[in-house]
């Protein structure tokens, strides 16, 4: 049976925790120091699942998670990568407002692609940021504690079968 492969791009402002989140998923570890990424890197995870299509068992969906550190790289490569979904991450008021910019880039580069908003660093003392991009699914996570770690991926996967 053919493997199902999907490409999800993770974007957002610098320092919001994209790489830390992906590292936590891959290695179950968290690094408190900040090393800015450059360009684009990918890691793959396998989401095991049973789907109820005539009782067929799909072994897994391979999800390639693309960590995209800068805007140029994102707008140039999103289509070439064959992006199926986008996670836009933020972790502060400023990076939240900049989501509008990331949403626009996404709509221009890969129109009609599913987008999920992801508020990271929900382990601190900050109040939750109220979400106004109403039409988009939203999850609050913490790459540090692992809170809700896979929720953004799972909600995209649910619409990417
Ligand atoms: N408290 C807390 N800190 C976090 C969390 N996630 C990431 N950080 C910290 O935020 C800083 C930036 O994390 P990165 O993952 O490097 O951020 P990034 O979005 O990949 O940044 P660029 O590569 O520059 O685009 C690091 O010091 C992380 O340790 C979190 O859930 N909670
Ligand atoms: Mg990074």
pLDDT tens track for 77-135: 888 999 999 999 999 999 999 999 999 999 999 999 999 999 999 997 666 677 777 78
**What percentage of the chain has pLDDT greater than the value 90?**
70
Name the DSSP letter for residue 27.
H
Nearest C-alpha to atom 3 of ligand 1 is from which residue?
121
Q: What confidence tier does 155 reach under pLDDT thresholds 50, 70, 90?
A: very high
pLDDT computed for residue 55 by the predictor: 60
Query: β-pairing, 85-90 with 61-68?
Result: unpaired
- The ligand 1 atom nearest the CA atom of 30: 29
Distance (angstroms) between ligand 1 centre and the Cα of 66 equals 16
Exposed/middle/buried for 24, CB within 10 Å: 0-12, 13-18, 19+?
Answer: buried
- Count: domains in the chain: 1
| Residue 143: domain span | 4-160
Q: Which residue has the higher pLDDT, 132 or 11?
A: 11
Q: Is 87 in the pocket of ligand 1 (CB under 6 A)?
A: no
Neighbours of 89 (CB within 10 A): 24
Structure tokens at 101: 């910019």
CATH classification at residue 76: 3.40.50.300
d(CA 57, CA 51) in angstroms, rounded, equals 6
Query: β-pairing, 137-140 with 115-119?
Result: parallel
**What percentage of the chain has pLDDT greater than the value 70?**
89
Name the DSSP letter for residue 144.
T
Q: Is 41 in the pocket of ligand 1 (CB under 6 A)?
A: no
d(CA 29, CA 52) in angstroms, rounded, equals 34
- Is residue 160 within 8 Å of 91, Cβ to Cβ? no
Nearest C-alpha to atom 6 of ligand 1 is from which residue?
17
Q: What confidence tier does 49 reach under pLDDT thresholds 50, 70, 90?
A: low
């Amino acid at each position: 049976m053919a493997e199902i492969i999907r490409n999800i791009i993770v974007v957002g402002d610098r320092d919001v925790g994209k790489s830390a989140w992906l590292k936590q998923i891959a290695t179950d570890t968290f690094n408190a120091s900040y090393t800015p990424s450059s360009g684009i890197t990918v890691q793959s995870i396998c989401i095991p699942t049973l789907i109820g299509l005539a009782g067929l068992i799909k072994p897994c969906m391979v999800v390639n998670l693309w960590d995209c550190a800068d805007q140029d790289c994102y707008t140039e490569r999103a289509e070439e990568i064959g992006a199926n979904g986008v996670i836009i991450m933020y972790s502060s008021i400023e990076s939240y407002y900049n989501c509008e910019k990331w949403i626009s880039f996404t709509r221009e580069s890969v129109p009609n692609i599913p987008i999920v908003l992801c508020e990271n660093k929900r382990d601190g003392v900050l109040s939750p940021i109220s979400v106004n991009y109403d039409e988009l699914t939203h999850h609050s996570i913490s790459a540090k504690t692992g809170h809700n770690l896979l929720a953004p991926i799972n909600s995209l996967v649910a619409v990417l079968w």
